[in-house]
C-alpha cells in the first residue's frame, strides 16, 4: 500500500484538501480513441456542461504550450498540467509531444494523464520519459462478462474486437499495465463509472483486484448522454454510491469524493469545471472565482437542524457543499463512534479518513487529540452549538468574507 506522498497534497484531483487551494489545466490535444464506451458521446459540446470527453476546441502541441503560458500568467496557484482527452491520450502522438514541450519550459509543473489503459503496457517508457507523475486509468470491470456490456468495441493491433473478446483484451491490458507502472513510482488513481444494473454490483471486485497497485479509487456516477446505448440508464442514487464507496474502501482506503467529472479542456479550480481553455484564450474571466469554489463541510447533527453532537460520539455527519450564495446537502455519511471503549489514534483516524474530502468539520465539541489529527490532515475543526444555517453562515464569513454582503443568512439559499 502506498504512503501519502508530498506531491499528492498539491494535486487537486488526487487530494480533497488541494482542490480548493490549487488549480489544474487539461490540455485537449488527444482526439483519437481506441475504444467505444456505451456511455460516451464526444461529438457535441455545450459550454455549460461538465463531463469527460467534452472540449470546445482541439489544440496542437504548440497551441497547448501557448495556453499554458497564459494560464501561468493569470493563475498563480496552477500546479498540475494534465491530458485527459477528449480521446485516449496514449492513442495520440500529440500527447507526448505536448508533455515534452510543457516539461521543458515549466519543469516545476506536475504532469498528469488519464487513459483507458489499452496501450498502457506498451507506453510505459514513453510515460516515464515524459515526466508523468500521476496517472488515472478508467477501469469499469475486471470480468469480461460484465465488460462486454460496457464497451461497444476495442480497436487494437489494427483489428476491431467486440463483445467478450473486446472486454477481455482491454481488461488484460489494463491490469498488466497498472501493475507494471505502479512499480515505477507513478501514483495511480483508478476511475470507475458506476452504471446501475450493469456493473454496480461488481465494483468491489475491481477494488479488491487493484488494491495492491493503486493509490486511490474514484467512483464516478454515470452521466446519461443522448445518442448512447446507456442514455436510458439513470445515475446511481447518491446514498447508494456512498455505500458502495464504503465497501470499496475496505480494499482501497482512499476513496475520492470531491471529483467534478471535468471536461477535457477544464482549467482553474475544480469548482470551475465549466471554465475552459476556450474561455482563457478568449480572455473571458469567470465571475468571482470563489463564488464557484464550494467548501465541503461536515456537521455533526442528530436531526439535520442543529449541530448537537460531539466528534467522538456522533455516528453520522451531514455533508454540505457551501458557496457564498448557497449550501447543498450532499449526503449523510456514517462513521464509527470511538468514544465508547478504548480510544486510540487508529480509531480517531478511521473517522478522519471518512472525512478526507471535507475542508471543515463542525461539532458541538472536538477534543484535543482529534483536533490535532484533523489539522494534520488539512481539515479545519470548529466547535459550534446552534442551528445548521448559523454554522454555515460562520463558514461563509470566514472563508469568503470579502465576497459576502453584510446580511449573509438572509441571502444564503438552501439548494435541494
Q: Are residues 136 and 245 in the same domain?
A: yes
Q: How many domains does the chain have?
A: 2
Mean pLDDT check: name the lowest of 17-26, 188-197, 386-395: 17-26
pLDDT of residue 403: 41
Count the Cβ atoms, other than its own, within 10 Å of residue 45: 19
**Residue count of the chain:** 416
284 Rama sector, left if φ>0, alpha if ψ -120 to 50, beta otherwise: beta
Residue 210 to residue 171: CA distance in whole angstroms: 12
Residue 249 to residue 357: CA distance in whole angstroms: 14
Is residue 288 included in any domain, yes or no?
no
Q: How far is CA 166 from the centre of its chain?
A: 27
* pLDDT tier at 50, thresholds 50, 70, 90: low
Helix (H, G, I), strand (E, B) or coil at 102: helix
pLDDT of residue 415: 46
| Cα separations in angstroms, 98 against 82, 106, 253 | 10, 12, 33
> What pLDDT, in 10s, does the model give residues 98-154?
999 999 999 999 999 999 999 999 999 999 999 999 999 999 999 999 999 999 999
Average pLDDT over residues 14-33: 84
* pLDDT tier at 20, thresholds 50, 70, 90: low
Where in 245-338 does DSSP place strands (E)?
Answer: 267-268, 295-300, 306-307, 316-322, 326-334
The CA R_g of the chain, rounded to the nearest whole Å, is 21
Q: Last residue of a domain, which of 281, 303, 318?
A: 281
**Domain coverage including residue 324:** 294-415
pLDDT of residue 161: 93
Average pLDDT over residues 65-92: 90
Q: Are residues 91 and 20 in the same domain?
A: yes
Q: What is the CATH number of the domain that holds 156?
A: 3.20.20.70
* Structure-model confidence comparison of residues 287 and 152, the more confident one: 152
User: Residue 167 above 70 pLDDT?
Assistant: yes
> Which range has highest mean pLDDT (70-74, 395-399, 407-411)?
70-74
Is residue 287 included in any domain, yes or no?
no
User: Residue 326 above 80 pLDDT?
Assistant: no
User: Residue 42 above 80 pLDDT?
Assistant: no
Are the C-beta atoms of residues 209 and 174 closer than 8 Å to each other? Answer: no
The pLDDT mean for the chain works out to 84
Is residue 162 included in any domain, yes or no?
yes
Residue 283 to residue 67: CA distance in whole angstroms: 11
* pLDDT tier at 48, thresholds 50, 70, 90: low
Q: Are residues 163 and 57 in the same domain?
A: yes
Please choose, from the candidates 295, 296, 303, the residue with its C-alpha nearest in 3D space to the C-alpha of residue 364: 303
Average pLDDT over residues 192-210: 95
Is residue 138 included in any domain, yes or no?
yes
| Cα separations in angstroms, 315 against 193, 299, 301, 310, 312 | 29, 11, 9, 10, 8
Q: List the grid coordinates of 195.
A: 452504471
> Which range has highest mean pLDDT (187-191, 293-297, 309-313, 393-397)?
187-191
Mean pLDDT check: name the lowest of 164-173, 247-256, 373-382: 373-382
Q: How far is CA 392 from the centre of its chain?
A: 24
Is residue 239 included in any domain, yes or no?
yes
Q: Last residue of a domain, which of 256, 281, 306?
A: 281
Q: Phi and psi (nearest 5°) for 24?
A: -135, 165
Max Cα–Cα distance, the chain, nearest Å = 65
Average pLDDT over residues 228-242: 87
pLDDT of residue 193: 95
Percent of the chain with pLDDT over 70: 86
User: Residue 47 above 80 pLDDT?
Assistant: no
* Structure-model confidence comparison of residues 50 and 170, the more confident one: 170
Please choose, from the candidates 78, 90, 89, 101, the residue with its C-alpha nearest in 3D space to the C-alpha of residue 269: 78
Q: Are residues 205 and 139 in the same domain?
A: yes
Are the C-beta atoms of residues 377 and 356 closer than 8 Å to each other? Answer: yes
pLDDT of residue 3: 43
Mean pLDDT check: name the lowest of 162-176, 187-201, 360-374: 360-374
> What pLDDT, in 10s, does the model give residues 144-158?
999 999 999 999 888
> What pLDDT, in 10s, does the model give residues 335-391?
877 665 555 556 777 788 788 788 899 999 998 888 888 887 778 899 999 999 889
Please choose, from the candidates 315, 310, 332, 322, the residue with its C-alpha nearest in 3D space to the C-alpha of residue 412: 322
Is residue 40 included in any domain, yes or no?
yes
Mean pLDDT check: name the lowest of 116-130, 231-245, 247-261, 270-284: 270-284
Helix (H, G, I), strand (E, B) or coil at 414: strand
Q: List the grid coordinates of 356.
A: 478526507
Q: Last residue of a domain, which of 230, 256, 281?
A: 281
User: Residue 191 above 90 pLDDT?
Assistant: yes
Is residue 116 included in any domain, yes or no?
yes
In a 13 Å sphere around the CA of 317, the CA atoms on its Cβ side amount to: 29
Specify burial of residue 232 (Cβ count, 10 A radius: 0-12, 13-18, 19+). exposed
CA-CA-CA-CA dihedral for 33, 39, 40, 44, to nearest 10? 170
Mean pLDDT check: name the lowest of 148-157, 205-214, 291-300: 291-300
User: Residue 49 above 90 pLDDT?
Assistant: no
Q: What is the CATH number of the domain that holds 407?
A: 3.30.420.130
List for the chain the helix, strand, coil content (%; round to 5).
Answer: 35, 20, 45
Percent of the chain with pLDDT over 90: 47
* Structure-model confidence comparison of residues 392 and 406, the more confident one: 392
Q: List the grid coordinates of 19.
A: 482542490
Q: Are residues 210 and 326 in the same domain?
A: no
Average pLDDT over residues 9-34: 84
Terminal C-alpha separation, the chain? 39
Average pLDDT over residues 270-279: 69
Is residue 1 included in any domain, yes or no?
no
Amino acid at each position: 500500500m502506498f504512503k501519502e506522498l508530498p506531491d499528492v497534497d498539491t494535486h487537486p484531483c488526487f487530494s480533497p484538501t488541494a482542490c480548493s487551494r490549487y488549480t489544474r489545466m487539461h490540455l485537449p490535444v488527444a482526439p483519437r480513441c481506441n475504444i467505444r464506451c456505451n456511455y460516451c458521446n464526444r461529438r457535441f459540446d455545450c459550454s455549460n456542461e461538465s463531463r469527460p470527453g467534452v472540449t470546445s476546441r482541439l489544440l496542437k502541441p504548440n497551441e497547448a504550450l501557448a495556453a499554458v503560458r497564459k494560464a501561468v500568467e493569470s493563475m498563480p496557484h496552477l500546479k498540475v498540467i494534465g491530458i485527459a482527452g477528449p480521446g485516449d491520450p496514449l492513442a495520440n502522438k500529440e500527447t507526448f509531444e505536448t508533455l515534452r514541450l510543457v516539461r521543458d519550459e515549466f519543469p516545476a509543473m506536475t504532469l498528469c494523464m488519464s487513459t483507458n489503459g489499452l496501450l498502457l503496457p506498451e507506453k510505459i517508457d514513453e510515460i516515464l520519459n515524459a515526466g508523468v507523475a500521476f496517472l488515472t486509468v478508467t477501469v469499469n470491470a475486471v470480468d469480461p462478462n460484465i465488460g462486454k456490456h460496457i464497451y461497444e468495441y476495442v480497436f487494437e493491433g489494427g483489428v476491431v474486437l467486440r463483445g467478450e473478446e473486446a472486454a477481455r483484451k482491454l481488461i488484460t491490458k489494463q491490469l498488466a499495465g497498472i501493475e507494471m507502472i505502479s512499480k515505477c513510482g507513478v501514483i495511480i488513481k483508478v476511475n470507475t463509472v458506476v452504471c446501475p444494473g450493469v456493473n454496480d454490483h461488481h465494483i468491489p471486485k475491481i477494488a479488491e483486484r487493484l488494491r495492491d497497485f493503486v493509490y486511490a479509487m474514484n467512483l464516478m456516477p454515470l452521466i446519461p448522454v443522448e445518442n448512447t446505448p446507456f442514455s436510458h440508464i439513470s445515475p446511481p442514487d447518491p446514498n447508494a454510491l456512498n455505500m458502495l464507496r464504503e465497501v470499496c474502501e475496505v480494499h482501497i482506503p482512499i476513496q475520492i469524493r470531491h471529483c467534478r467529472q471535468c471536461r477535457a479542456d477544464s482549467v482553474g479550480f475544480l469548482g470551475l469545471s465549466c471554465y475552459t481553455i476556450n474561455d482563457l484564450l478568449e480572455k473571458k474571466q469567470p465571475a468571482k472565482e470563489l463564488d464557484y469554489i464550494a467548501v465541503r463541510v461536515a456537521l455533526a447533527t442528530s436531526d439535520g437542524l442543529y449541530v448537537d453532537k460531539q466528534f467522538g460520539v456522533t455516528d453520522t455527519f451531514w455533508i454540505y457543499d457551501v458557496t457564498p450564495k448557497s449550501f447543498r446537502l450532499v449526503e449523510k455519511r456514517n462513521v464509527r463512534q470511538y468514544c465508547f471503549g478504548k480510544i486510540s489514534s487508529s480509531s480517531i483516524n478511521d473517522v478522519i479518513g471518512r472525512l478526507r474530502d471535507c475542508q471543515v468539520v463542525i461539532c458541538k465539541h472536538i477534543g484535543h487529540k482529534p483536533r490535532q489529527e484533523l489539522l494534520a490532515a488539512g481539515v479545519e475543526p470548529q466547535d459550534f452549538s446552534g442551528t445548521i444555517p448559523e454554522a454555515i453562515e460562520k463558514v461563509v464569513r470566514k472563508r469568503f468574507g470579502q465576497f459576502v454582503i453584510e446580511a449573509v443568512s438572509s441571502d444564503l439559499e438552501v439548494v435541494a
